[in-house]
Amino acid sequence: MALPWLTIAKAVPWSDVIEHAPSVVSAARKLLQRKPVEPTSGNAPVAAEQAEAALLRTQLADTQQLLQDLAEQQARTLAQVEENRIQLDRMRKHLIAVAVVAAVSAVLAVGLVARGLG
């Protein structure tokens, strides 16, 4: 049962994952470190709402970019998994062909030995 997971783990383009990890971590940290802006003017409720709306827009844009980066990374990973599945299917077909050739060779060898002894 562990073999499929091992195959999947080997199929992941780890170089891409490692390459993009710092930007993903950085974006996640920026999202977590954002704090609401305290109003400083006499028009406190309006200024606070505007500041909060601006902060929410920025957070939304950052979140959208992070999700887009993750989606692109997942798409690359899935493409690699599909490519590996196709290669595995080819290998299975080749293995079957080799097994058939080996079986035919064994039958012929036994026939030749039996014929030589008889």
Q: What's the pLDDT tens digit per position in 37-56? A: 555 556 677 888 888 899 99
- Residues constituting the chain: 118
* Chain centre to alpha carbon of residue 57: 29
Residue 118 CA to residue 112 CA, distance in Å, equals 10
* pLDDT confidence tier of residue 94, bands split at 50, 70 and 90: very high
The pLDDT of residue 90 is above 60: yes
User: What is the C-alpha separation between 51 and 38, in angstroms, rounded?
Assistant: 8
Residue 40 φ then ψ, to 5° = -120, -10
The domain locations on the chain are 15-117
Residue 68: half-sphere exposure toward Cβ, Cα within 13 Å = 6
Q: How far apart are CA 94 and CA 79, in angstroms?
A: 23
